[in-house]
Structure 1
Amino acid sequence: MKILIIGGNGTIGKVVRDHLTQNHELIIAARTNGDVNVDIADSKSIENMFQKVGTVDAIVCIAGEAKWAPFNDLSESDFHIGLNSKLMGQVNLVRIGQKHLSAGGSFTLSTGILADDPVPMTTSAAMVNGGIHSFARAAALELENGHRINVVSSGLVIDAVDKYRDYFPGHNPVPMNKVVNAYVKSIEGKINGEIIRIYE
């Protein structure tokens, strides 16, 4: 398959990329240093990306930002960071990308444990993750041309423990192979409209 991975150079993205490249043709999209560059918070940038890559068999997003801060410190503009990037960025990848996805192709979006098990300082990120879950389940009912859509929602991955350990006391780090397998299940399997949760 020809697979477009947005965010293929990140902590999770690079591990997924290294696995998928064994059997598939990959195009890596990133804000910088990708095969093609994209800012998912900008729908015009998404359109330009797809004009460059053409038709693909799978679109995978492992990207998106949201502000982490105490609830009472979050401004409206702080909330819009996550709304514009992680939420609408992924929505627009589907909305625009369906025109560039081959028949029977798939979308795989990314969220995280905060949708189901939030911790302090994550009000914005948790809200966005939950919105993506609802979007994907609803979009799965209406996508055409045999297109599928799923979401991979992972817990604290073992490769990010040093950076986020203090935010997630008592959480069991998730092995990277489990996370990779979740993306493989969405891309190479037949499931549709599912939230694939890997929390332990």
Structure 2
Amino acid sequence: MKIVIIGATGTIGNAVCTRLTEHHHVIKASRSSELIVDLKQPETLHNIFDQHPDVDAILCTAGRSAFGQLDSLTDEEINLGIDNKLQGQIQLVRIARRKMKEGGVIVLTTGMLAQNPNPLSSMATMINRGIEGFVEAASLDMPNMQKLHAVSPPMAKETAEKLGWQGGIPAKEIAKLYEEALTSTHQGKIFSYHRLS
């Protein structure tokens, strides 16, 4: 398969690229890759199909949102996740469903905070749940036998270590979720780590 991975330079995105490269033609996309894609600039999403009109799948491992107690978040911080992770991925689906070939696959990224909120995650939890609801509903109306899924990854061990935290799951293990979503025969599923444990 010819697969575009958005967020390929990130911890999880890089692990997904490594896992899928062995059996697929992987094209890396990010704000700094040869294929430039920035979720906060939806017009860059057209770059995918301008350069690779025959793409079989798009896996989005990117998306940013702010953390903090609700009263401490600025309007800019609140809009960061809405404009980037939520709206950016929605726009990706809107564009891809019109341009992808028959049977194409789109996989978005949500996150564990959808089901495990904490006092600092009001925006991240809202955005992740919004993505999951969007996937579940939009998948019921995908054209041309296209598939739409989302992965809800846990905290990557590598990211936790950078933050000085304990725990986390190695990114190479999280990458298996994206491979499972890519090859799934189902529609509109949310793939999370507990399903692989």
TM-score, length-normalised on structure 2?
A: 0.92
Other-structure match for 2:57: 58
Structure 2 residue identity aligned to 1:127: M
Q: CA deviation at 1:164?
A: 4.1
Other-structure match for 1:141: 140
Q: How do 1:176-191 residues align onto structure 2 when only pairs under 5 Å count?
A: 176-191=171-186
Q: CA deviation at 1:165?
A: 5.4
Q: Distance in 2 between matches of 1:44 and 1:178?
A: 32
Per-residue CA distance 1:55-75 (angstroms, 9 max, x = gap): 210010000111112211112
Structure 1 residue identity aligned to 2:99: H
Task: Assess, with a 3 A threshold, how the Cα gap between structure 1 residues 177 and 39 changes in structure 2: closer, same or farther.
Answer: closer
Structure 1 residue identity aligned to 2:22: Q
Other-structure match for 2:114: 115
Structure 2 residue identity aligned to 1:198: Y
Aligned pairs, number: 195
What SS does the aligned partner of 2:28 have? strand
Q: Which moved more, 1:43-52 or 1:109-118?
A: 43-52
TM-score, length-normalised on structure 1?
A: 0.91
- Listed as ranges, the gaps of 5+ residues in structure 1 are none
Other-structure match for 1:71: 70
Q: Segments of 4+ in structure 1 off by > 2 A?
A: 163-166, 172-178
- Confirm or deny: 8 A CA contact 1:55 1:100 kept in the other structure: no
- Listed as ranges, the gaps of 5+ residues in structure 2 are none
- Confirm or deny: 8 A CA contact 1:3 1:25 kept in the other structure: yes
- State, as a whole percentage, how many aligned pairs show the same letter: 33
Q: Distance in 1 between matches of 2:183 and 2:119?
A: 36
Greater strand fraction, Structure 1 or Structure 2: 1
- Confirm or deny: 8 A CA contact 2:103 2:146 kept in the other structure: yes
- Confirm or deny: 8 A CA contact 1:27 1:35 kept in the other structure: no
